[in-house]
Amino acid sequence: MVKSIEVNVLKPFQVAPLSGELDSDIQRKIDQKTKPPGSLGGLESIAFQIARIQRTLAPSIKRAQMLVFAADHGAVDQGISAFPQEVTPQMVGNFLAGGAAVSVFCRQHGVGLKVVDVGVKEKLTNHPLLVQKKVAYASQDFTQGAALTLDQVNQALEVGADQVSAIEANVDLLMFGEMGIGNTGVASCMFSALTGLAPEQTTGRGTGLNEQGVSRKVAVIEQALERVTQQLKRPAGEWAPWEVATQVGGLEILAMSGAMLRTAELGKPFVVDGFICTVALLFAQQIQAQVVDYAIFAHQSDEQAHARLLEHFSATPILKLDLRLGEGSGAILSYPIIQSAVAFFNDMASFDDAGVSGANSPH
């Protein structure tokens, strides 16, 4: 019954399952390179996945784009962040000026960056790198009532999807990031709401809370979940995705979900950044399970719940650098490794090409 309701109320996406038609040829090409089988470890898995997504034995990752979605959150009024809300528009300005970490790394690797305002609380000044698609001036405080209307949820999904549609012809790979003071707490609340896990298991330090601050954030999330449980007469973990999104969702998180779903719908790979971005994938998975097949996991962040979330996806991330910045910083740092995976697959000599003897068969 819930599934039929979902089709009617949330923006629909049609993500095709990946074909296994070329799987044996892809694996054979990897195994015939001048190396012991499996010796390039995770690079082999990345190459296999990209070749499978692109349905070719000559994959290409030469053109990438970073989309950073920005929004504010009413729950910040409850003290869930170490930083004040005015930091969101200030950091958006920093992205646009080229001074943020993700800006620096995108510039280093020649990757285009755009910032999409989905719900920043202030009106932002026009800029060539800024896409103004404000759905609302922040979500509502989810401890007091629903964070978003259903229309706002669908608008956020649409914003993310539209940004991908606008650029997809010119890119091979999409990367997503986020900015929004308090959004680690919102992501933790969504994680608990979708899975039924207790807030103690889904909540961490975010941008640098001390133990007292983390305890406060846990209490706020518990309050929100209890409010919704009483309203819906069902515990967290049993709510429909549209109920999770309206009651405790964040606009930039939902926009990332829409962007992921549209990227997969178009048959392209995308890179999942840290904890918040992975929660966006968790939500997207509720709409179309196959979206996960198109996801490359960049890193395991220092946010304590991220490891648990990666386990849910049976994901082995590319990096583990104890990052907890967000912004898409981990995604762009993984980009040259993804390129290297494709480079070895395409350009590394095979045993036959190089005239090198392969491994002896066991006797």
327 is catalytic: yes
Statement: residue 5 has pLDDT above 50 = no
The three-class DSSP label of residue 267 is: coil
Asked if residue 171 belongs to a domain, the reply is yes
Asked if residue 31 belongs to a domain, the reply is no
Asked if residue 50 belongs to a domain, the reply is no
Q: How many angstroms separate the CA atoms of 245 and 190, rounded?
A: 8
Statement: residue 122 has pLDDT above 60 = yes
Asked if residue 310 belongs to a domain, the reply is yes
Instruction: At 273, list the tokens.
Output: 């950044």
Asked if residue 8 belongs to a domain, the reply is no
Q: Taking residues 357-361, report their average pLDDT.
A: 63
Asked if residue 265 belongs to a domain, the reply is yes
Q: How many angstroms separate the CA atoms of 302 and 175, rounded?
A: 20
Asked if residue 151 belongs to a domain, the reply is yes
What's 287's DSSP letter? H
**Where residue 4 falls among pLDDT bands split at 50, 70, 90?**
very low
Angle at 18 between CA 295 and CA 111, to 5 degrees: 35
Q: What is the pLDDT of residues 211-255, one digit of tens each?
A: 887 899 999 999 999 999 999 999 999 999 999 999 999 999 999
DSSP of 300-361, one letter per residue?
A: --SSHHHHHHHHHTT---SB-------TTHHHHHHHHHHHHHHHHHHHSPBHHHHT---PPP
Structural domain span for residue 225: 64-347
Which residue in the list 178, 252, 265, 327 is annotated as catalytic? Answer: 327
Looking at this protein, which amino acid is placed at residue 260? M
CATH number at residue 103: 3.40.50.10210
Instruction: At 239, list the tokens.
Output: 């709510």
Find out whether 342 and 121 touch, Cβ atoms under 8 Å: no
Sheet holding 173-179, edge to edge: 130-132, 112-119, 64-71, 173-179, 270-272, 295-297
Asked if residue 43 belongs to a domain, the reply is no
Question: What is the percentage of the chain residues whose pLDDT exceeds 90?
Answer: 88
**Where residue 359 falls among pLDDT bands split at 50, 70, 90?**
low
What's 168's DSSP letter? G
**Where residue 207 falls among pLDDT bands split at 50, 70, 90?**
low
The structure's pTM equals: 0.94
Statement: residue 109 has pLDDT above 50 = yes
Statement: residue 55 has pLDDT above 60 = yes
Give the chain's domain count: 1
More confident residue, 214 or 121: 121
Instruction: At 103, list the tokens.
Output: 């800006």
Q: Taking residues 108-135, report their average pLDDT.
A: 98
**Where residue 352 falls among pLDDT bands split at 50, 70, 90?**
confident
Instruction: Report the length, in residues, of the chain.
Output: 363
SS percent in the chain: helix, strand, coil, step 5: 50, 10, 40
